[in-house]
Structure 1
Amino acid sequence: MAAMFHRRCGERITLTNGNRTAIRNFAEFNYGLVLSAEPLAENQLFEVRIDKKISSWSGSVEIGVTTCDPDLLEFPSSATDLRDGSWIMTGNSILKDGRSVVEVYGIDLDKLKEGERIGVMRTSEGELVFYVNGVSQGVAADDLPARIFAVVDLYGKCAQVTIVDSEVGVPDSERSESEAEINNDHGMMTVTNLVANLNVNMNVNTAVAVPDRLQFHERCGTLVKLSCNNRTAERRRPLDEFNNGVVMTHRPLRENELFEIRIDRLVDKWSGSIEVGITTHNPTALEFPATMTNMRSGTTMMSGCGILTNGKGTRREYGEFNLDELREGDRIGMMRKSNGNLHYFINGLDQGVAATKVPACVWGVVDLYGMTVKVTIVDRDEREEQNLITRRNT
């Protein structure tokens, strides 16, 4: 059944179009709350289009979720006044029960124009994710209750919205194809992957504008020191401490974009070494763990020769290399392909499918753990590719 707004709504709202369009009285700026008619299903994207904005007032549309039942709710003047388990995105901040929990998150909703779309989803893992024009803004909160309603506040400049039917995720045809690529017995590469090894550069996005080159996000583990325009990360006190060395990319990875780092320095102490992967958690909102394998949602990491998803082993033996055995100068890369598959690359060699159905919005993660002390993000061009493969893998 198509999503609709609940018939009970803010006192200045008029519902039309089968309760799929909400209009606020232009003469007022508040009392424009609408809720979904039904609780959100897991992984259901509830999305609206901004139909009309006016020049009067300040502020604009707000969106979120609440445990409040619209049949029983006494509607407040704005979404930020909701309590009893309510998470609201306002501007580019996240509020829980009226209090700020994430100061900087995603795209600023106040800057959106007519025709643009905003959406909200509770994932099957209990994570709250907001979408702008179909693009995930990352995990805003976790451990959400199972029964929640979507909330839209036609506040300030936003005077009219309409629900749009949306579908996110990997299409079924691509899912079946990606699932077929995995060999669960030995983690060995398929013929398709072997062919891809010879042409990995053709799948790499080498047209990234220089101002948007990947770098490490300024928010990172407590023992990390960044340098070289945030392209080099180094763990402080490497002979005294072995963790708190997590770094993430400053922006989400694009489809088919290779994120690759070079190991610059190792120390002959500790057990374990570098761990690399992806996460849906936005670094602006993340409370950085001591090690990334402690994350219990939205995170896939390669550690040693295995793959861990949310801290639990999902592939005991993956690829042809053990990260603990890599040397200074070796390179590790990762790529989320357009079909939702995650691949790792060691010195240019594709190690095959590590995970499938990876969300579209993920950040690259490097954990300077144990023996690994320093890494640098590297760019690759086609001339380097065969030399990288030849150096270590022939």
Structure 2
Amino acid sequence: KQKNMSSRTRSQKGSHRCGWACLGPLTFHAQAVGAQVTLSKGGLLAERSGQKFNNGLVFSSRPVKVNERLRLRVERKVQGWHGALRVGFTTVPPTERCLPLPSMAIPNLTETAGHWAAPIPEEYCREGSEQEFWVSECGNIYFSSNGGRRVKLQSGVDLSEPLWAMIDIYGQTLSVLLLGSERKTLMGTRNSCPIPSHLLAPHVNTCHNLNHVSSSWSRPGSLDETNDCVACMEVDASVTLLCGHRCLCLNCATRVIQEIGTCPLCRGDI
């Protein structure tokens, strides 16, 4: 009886044990931060002083994997500046950087070797919006806003060395909350360590904002938007499975059907 009570207590506290499906803890790096940045909530919330539009650089606490999607929520923004978030990757470890950091990711860092970054358009970065970004197997940087279609930002990232995520809290964006990461593979979905629920409380009414955004945004036609294959994240999904999900390209569909036999989304037999 005492053993059962102890087990229930651990469950109620939401204890977490890292296993194969866990990508490990993920926060902003504690030392390599811009001159105007303050970290809180265990290194998950990064806030830039509104006095300037720059000096808002932060980096991931660990290297990230190819196709590991980092998810951010825009907590606060301010009018009066142009531009918003800039996201990207770097092969330079945060521990090897000298302080103070450069004032901007673009062009201060992107003009040096081992840095790749691009801006997310202002209209995507509303308060309460959630942004995902990742680097693909072909070295392309993509982002997705509020669970929408992927948008190609840049190409040419060197994958031969470990990569750290790089975020520039720029312009109108004042603070972002790191919500974790996710990586989908043929064997299943892996996530970073879960974040305690009390740290996820938003600063804004996200339900209202997200509903408004999803119904009113117009996406720039010049950006490359596609429904990507959930397995390779590179080719458009062109195969509709028996369950009705159109989520795989032809090459990946052949492998999934032969080696796994279930839909990657609903796990229905295919």
TM-score by length of 2: 0.59
5 Å matches for 1:83-122? Answer: 83-91=112-120, 108-122=121-135
The corresponding residue for 2:43 is 19
5 Å matches for 1:59-98? Answer: 59-74=83-98, 75-80=101-106, 81-82=108-109, 83-91=112-120
CA distance in 1, matches of 2:153, 2:171: 26
Corresponding pairs, count? 191
Structure having the larger proportion of residues in helix: 2
5 Å matches for 1:24-173? Answer: 24-74=48-98, 75-80=101-106, 81-82=108-109, 83-91=112-120, 108-134=121-147, 135-138=149-152, 140-142=154-156, 144-145=158-159, 146-167=161-182, 169=184
| CA gap 1:251/1:18 in 2 versus in 1, 3 angstroms | closer
What are the ranges of 5 or more consecutive residues in structure 2 without an aligned counterpart?
Answer: 1-23, 190-220, 258-262, 266-270
Equivalent pair of 1:341/1:355 in contact (CA under 8 Å): no
How far residue 70 of structure 1 moved from its aligned partner, in angstroms, is 1.4
CA distance in 1, matches of 2:166, 2:50: 20
Residue 244 of structure 2 corresponds to residue 340 of structure 1: no
Residue 34 of structure 2 corresponds to residue 5 of structure 1: no
What are the ranges of 5 or more consecutive residues in structure 1 without an aligned counterpart?
Answer: 92-107, 175-216, 219-249, 256-278, 281-297, 302-333, 345-352, 361-394
Residue 207 of structure 2 corresponds to residue 252 of structure 1: no
How far residue 28 of structure 1 moved from its aligned partner, in angstroms, is 1.5
| CA gap 1:113/1:66 in 2 versus in 1, 3 angstroms | same
CA distance in 2, matches of 1:4, 1:253: 29
Task: Please identify runs of 4+ aligned residues in structure 1 that moved more than 6 A.
Answer: 357-360
SS of residue matched to 1:165 = strand
| CA gap 1:64/1:251 in 2 versus in 1, 3 angstroms | closer
Moved more, 164-173 or 45-54: 164-173
Equivalent pair of 2:67/2:184 in contact (CA under 8 Å): no
CA distance in 2, matches of 1:343, 1:167: 24
Equivalent pair of 1:29/1:157 in contact (CA under 8 Å): yes
SS of residue matched to 1:71 = helix
CA distance in 2, matches of 1:124, 1:61: 23
CA distance in 2, matches of 1:78, 1:5: 17
| CA gap 1:339/1:253 in 2 versus in 1, 3 angstroms | closer
| CA gap 1:14/1:254 in 2 versus in 1, 3 angstroms | closer
SS of residue matched to 1:56 = coil
| CA gap 1:336/1:121 in 2 versus in 1, 3 angstroms | farther
CA distance in 1, matches of 2:44, 2:75: 12
Equivalent AA in structure 1 for residue 151 of structure 2:
Q
How far residue 67 of structure 1 moved from its aligned partner, in angstroms, is 1.7
Equivalent pair of 2:150/2:226 in contact (CA under 8 Å): no
CA distance in 2, matches of 1:49, 1:78: 20
The corresponding residue for 2:15 is none
Equivalent pair of 1:3/1:46 in contact (CA under 8 Å): no
Equivalent pair of 1:253/1:336 in contact (CA under 8 Å): no
Equivalent AA in structure 1 for residue 165 of structure 2:
A
How far residue 29 of structure 1 moved from its aligned partner, in angstroms, is 1.2
The corresponding residue for 1:96 is none
Query: Computing the radius of gyration over CA atoms, which structure comes out larger, 1 or 2?
Result: 1
SS of residue matched to 2:102 = coil
CA distance in 2, matches of 1:56, 1:155: 12
Which structure carries more relative contact order (alpha carbon 8 Å, separation 6+)?
2
CA distance in 1, matches of 2:122, 2:240: 27
Equivalent pair of 2:117/2:154 in contact (CA under 8 Å): no
How far residue 119 of structure 1 moved from its aligned partner, in angstroms, is 2.5
